[in-house]
Structure 1
Amino acid sequence: MSFPWAKEYTPSHPAMVWLDEKLPLPRFVYNAIGAGYPVPRNLNYFWNFGVLAGFCLVIQLVTGIVLAMHYAANTGVAFDSTEHIMRDVNWGWLLRYMHANGASAFFVVVYAHIFRGFYFGSYKAPREMIWLLGVLIFLLMMATAFMGYVLPWGQMSFWGAKVITGLFGAIPVVGEPLQIWLLGGFAPDQAALNRFFSLHFLLPFVILGVVILHIWALHIPGSSNPTGVEVKTESDTVPFHPYYTAKDGVGLAVFLFLYFAMVFFAPNALGHPDNYIPANPMSTPAHIVPEWYFWPFYAILRAFTADFFIIPAKLMGVLAMFSAILVWFLLPWLDKSPVRSGTYRPTFKKFYWLLVIDVLVLGYCGGAPAAEPYVMISQIAAMYYFLHFFVVIPVVSAIEKPLPLPFSITEAVLGKDEAATVAPAE
């Protein structure tokens, strides 16, 4: 983002002058997160979640690299190597709990980041590319998390891998060969564990690369804001540092308090008991369920129980599960309202909260047994989910009468200056 009032980086020390000429890394940092990056002055704490997501990624990278030094990707000893990390490696228990709960924390933060974007219209022009890269990051996160869940090689790891990879078998003609190619065989075994481990180690670095593109794309139009009104004057902005580094610091402190409370006092609360049992291909768990952050999409998958003409129910479920995320790519063009922020869209706001409730219901049903009434509730909730994006959003954006927008960000923060609008006395 280039504003005429943005401060320029001017090094004074000879060493910094030389470095800036040869490798302008300090200038890059200054323009990215320093006083050289003007940011709308009205950002609230919902804008902290982007920084928190980046912090979660760093936690996962650092703990994951150290854990990989002690993990053995071998079906005969994978479960034991995980126990070895917990019992024999110095601070291994802490690293593993930080990594396992860090994945959940990462998804909590990213879900909050996504739904903030839904409400404040962060996907609208000129920020479509930021949004598209963000959805791509989410897809990569889901793939990485699934493969990581398989690595402990417990009961739920094995059967989760079998069920999820079995979904590819529903694809006509190429499904079964694709499933065998993914697994390296007819069932999860040594070849599958090797592949999942290598991809689980590689994909976080791919995510890091896409995150860099995401931030780069963000700096072209600049940050959105709660009003949805674009920056007009210098008074609409403040430098990112020190104002938002301090604000992000407060959010980070709260996050770390909650995160380490989970790590130290309830580290296994989000884990499934069956995954603390070594994998046994001859014993199927009574209730196969993925990690909690997959539950809404798992509920959509299980909502299809009958064939649709010549399309099998399993294939319909697979297509619907993937479409539930892929529809987000279309959101910038489905929502044609000229107003970005849900704060000034009263009808949209009601349907937004209905969507939030709908996703929570899907999440609850996804973690529940595949029985009634959960299946029927999943079907109703899945139907509304797609209606929201393909029907509600376009119709509401076409017929809704939004509230008046503030003239500028400054007016939204400080109020309208009535004295400036009154004509001077004769």
Structure 2
Amino acid sequence: MAEWIDAKPKNKAAAWLEERLPVIGLVNNVVGVDTPTPRNLNYWWNFGSLAGLMLVVQIISGIVLAMHYTPNTLMAFDSVERIMRDVNYGWLIRYMHANGASFFFIAVYIHILRGLYYGSYKAPREVLWMLGLVIFLLMMATAFMGYVLPWGQMSFWGATVITNLFSAIPVVGDSIVTLLWGGFSVDNPTLNRFFSLHYLLPFVIAGVVILHIWAKKVSDSGNPLGIDVKSSADQIPFHPFYTVKDAFGAAVFFAIFATFLFYMPNALGHPDNYIPADPLVTPGSIVPEWYFLPFYAILRSITFDIGIPFTDVVIIPAKLLGVIAMFAAILVLFFLPWLDRSKVRSGKFRPMFRWFFWFLVIDMVVLTIVGGKKPEGIWPVIGLIGTAYYFAHFLVVLPLLAKFEKTLPLPESIANPVVKAAE
């Protein structure tokens, strides 16, 4: 359990303020600038801070865009074009926001995969893990509603298809869809609702991020070896060692971000969204943004009903089953601390687990590809196989590995492997 550090500022003015409003001490204890940190953290630990930086980029660019955007179906598309053409550096801010969403998801996906590999969900970090998943869900909701705002063809039809999924829920489904739409079709009330929530949710995300960092402080930071800190030799100060490391990682990450921003700003988007929304013309293929594609593939992979054998009685129709599978793909992650009962946290000491982890990564890449293809030919079959393995990994493979896998011996301390590697 982390200790609370009572450090007083050396500056007299800061010390005076700290006595009356201990903000500096609170930030220092939550963020941990002056606190000891495991000495073996690698660059995979950078992506948490990178995700936080991308959240700041999204909030600031979003606030500026909101000053010029018009949430009306008759003017939304033109207002986006005006931002691109007439607002000073509007093209830069709009591209920064659009590509920033993709890079935010890239940082978060890598952050989640790092947590899966190094067992960051295991005790005592269960709440930390679940708060991270809450952030992920809020991100997905925010990104979906933001994708609707340009009111292009893919915006309109994406909103129509995704919101219609809720109609599959028995009894209350149609009421939920009507509430989301604000009427009986995707129209101006829908756009106003989505704009309002898209503006609000990033600040909710920021609040949950603070809780996430606080939970990280309380439960201590994990490390690649997955063992607890045993002595002061296992730790080094966060500053300057990890602040410099984070700064270098951020420089590389933002250099790649700038490459997309200035040289290929539309590479991660869909060209149909530069066509004004037309309810009478359906696009040839309706696909969400790339970061939704794995879950979209899971949704579309379910094409069969569940019913009573040898009868025509349907218990769960394919549409509802697909919606359940899509949401279950994320909800299953909340139960991961109890599905994986292995006492060893890190994948470095779990040989079989490493193989299945990379199978999962490959499976997610395949599902991403399948989600971007038309549901015809061999792709639905590949999607169904990928969906089956995804759930089998968490519900079957991990529980079995916890019982039968022979793990490697753990080092006595964090310092020993680090010192040996340096010799």
The separation in 1 between residues aligned to 2:181 and 2:85, in whole angstroms, is 31
In 2, Cα distance between equivalents of 1:2 and 1:376: 49
**Alignment partners' CA distance in 2, 1:308 and 1:194:** 38
1:138 paired residue number: 136
Name the residue aligned to 1:129: 127
Query: Equivalent of 1:395, from 393, 397, 400?
Result: 400
The answer to whether the Cα contact below 8 Å between 1:34 and 1:239 also exists between their aligned partners in 2 is: no
- Residue deviations 1:338-385 (CA, integer Å, cap 9, x gap): 000000000111100000001100000001111121111000000010
* Other-structure match for 2:345: 340
The answer for the alignment partner of 2:325 in structure 1 is: 320
Percent identical: 61
Residue matched to 2:266: 268
Give the whole-Å Cα distance in 2 for the aligned partners of 1:45 and 1:319: 36
1:332 Cα deviation from its structure 2 partner: 0.4
CA offset digits 1:84-119 (Å, max 9, x no partner): 000000110000000000000000000000000000
Give SS of 2:335's match: helix
AA of the residue aligned to 2:383: S
Residue number in structure 1 paired with 2:2 = 2
Which residue in the other structure is 1:407 paired with?
A: 412
Q: Does 1:224 align with 2:222?
A: yes
Separation in structure 2 between the aligned mates of residue 161 and residue 416 of structure 1, nearest angstrom? 53
CA separation in 1, counterparts of 2:51 and 2:11? 34
CA distance in structure 2 between the aligned counterparts of 1:334 and 1:174, rounded to whole angstroms: 31
Query: Structure 1, unaligned stretches of length 5 or more?
Result: 418-426
1:7–1:35: 8 Å Cα contact kept in structure 2? no
**Which residue identity does 1:386 align to in structure 2?**
F
Report the CA distance between 1:34 and its aligned residue: 5.1
| 1:77 and 2:75 correspond | yes
1:190 is aligned with what amino acid? Answer: N
8 Å CA contact 2:349, 2:408 repeated in 1: yes
2:414 maps to a residue whose letter is: I
Aligned equivalent of 1:424: none
Give 1:8 shift.
4.8
Determine helix, strand or coil for the equivalent of 2:37.
strand
Shift of residue 189 of structure 1?
0.1
Is residue 2:112 matched to residue 1:107?
no
Match of 1:421 in 2: none
Q: CA deviation at 1:7?
A: 6.7
Residue pair 1:170, 1:315 contacting (<8 A) in 2 also: yes
CA distance in 2, matches of 1:16, 1:171: 56
- For residue 38 of structure 1, what is the aligned residue in structure 2? 36
- The amino acid that maps onto 2:146 is G
Q: 2: distance between equivalents of 1:297 and 1:214?
A: 24
| Distance verdict in 2 for CA 1:273–1:35, change over 3 Å | closer
Please list the CA deviations of residues 193-218 of structure 1 after superposition, one character each: whole Å capped at 9, or x if unmatched.
00000000000000000000000000
Pairing of 1:228-247 with structure 2 (within 5 A) = 228-247=226-245
User: Which digits, 9 at most, give the CA deviation of each residue in 1:17-41, with x for residues without a partner?
Assistant: 2111011122223334455311100
1:156: which partner in 2? 154
Q: Which of the residues 251, 254, 273 maps onto 1:253?
A: 251
Residues 71 and 406 of structure 1: CA distance in aligned 2, closer, same or farther (over 3 Å):
same
Native 8 Å contact 1:168 1:178 kept in 2: yes
Alpha-carbon distance between aligned partners in 1 of 2:389 and 2:5, rounded to the nearest angstrom = 48
* Equivalent in the alignment of 1:199: 197
**Matches of 1:315 and 1:27, distance apart in 2:** 50
Q: SS of the counterpart of 2:167?
A: helix
Question: Given the alignment, which residue of 45, 48, 52 partners 1:47?
Answer: 45
1:235 offset after TM fit, Å?
0.8
Contact conserved, 1:33 with 1:240, CA < 8 A, in 2?
A: no
Where does 1:292-311 land on structure 2 (aligned, <5 Å)? 292-309=290-307, 310=314, 311=316
| 3-state SS, counterpart of residue 395 of structure 1 | helix
Q: CA deviation at 1:286?
A: 0.6
Shift of 1:75: 0.1
Q: Could you tell me how far apart the structure 2 residues matched to 1:34 and 1:345 are?
A: 30
Contact kept, 8 Å, 1:33 with 1:241, in 2: the verdict is no
Instruction: Name which of 61, 64, 67 aligns with 1:66.
Output: 64
2:306 alignment partner, SS class: coil
TM-score, L = length of structure 2: 0.96
Question: TM-score, length-normalised on structure 1?
Answer: 0.95
Q: Which amino acid aligns with 1:2?
A: A
Question: Is the counterpart of residue 360 in structure 1 residue 365 in structure 2?
Answer: yes
Contact 2:298 2:387 in 1 (8 A): yes
Q: How does 1:369-380 map to 2 (within 5 A)?
A: 369-380=374-385
Q: Which amino acid aligns with 2:348?
A: T
One-letter amino acid matched to 1:166: N
Alignment size in residue pairs: 415
Quote the Cα distance in structure 2 between the aligned partners of 1:406 and 1:187.
61
Instruction: Give the alignment partner of residue 291 of structure 1, picking from 275, 289, 294.
Output: 289
Amino acid paired to 2:65: L
Aligned with 2:180 (options 179, 182, 196): 182
CA distance in structure 2 between the partners assigned to 1:334 and 1:65 by the alignment: 41
Pick from 208, 211, 215: which aligns with 2:209? 211
Contact 2:38–2:229 (CA under 8 A) maintained in structure 1 = yes
Amino acid in structure 2 at the alignment position of 1:407: E
The Cα offsets for residues 211-254 of structure 1, whole Å up to 9 and x where unpaired, read as 00000000002110000010111111111111100000000000
Letter in 1 for 2:36: P
How far the C-alpha of 1:390 sits from its partner, in A, is: 0.3
* Structure 2 CA distance for aligned equivalents of residues 376 and 390 of structure 1: 21
Q: What SS does the corresponding residue of 1:51 show, helix, strand or coil?
A: helix
Q: Aligned partners of 1:388 and 1:34: how far apart in 2?
A: 35
- CA gap of 1:85–1:38, structure 2 versus 1, over 3 A, is same
Instruction: Letter of the 2:171 partner, please give it.
Output: V
* Unaligned segments of structure 2, at least 5 residues: 308-313
Offset, 1:187: 1.3
The one-letter code sitting in structure 2 at the alignment partner of 1:357 is I
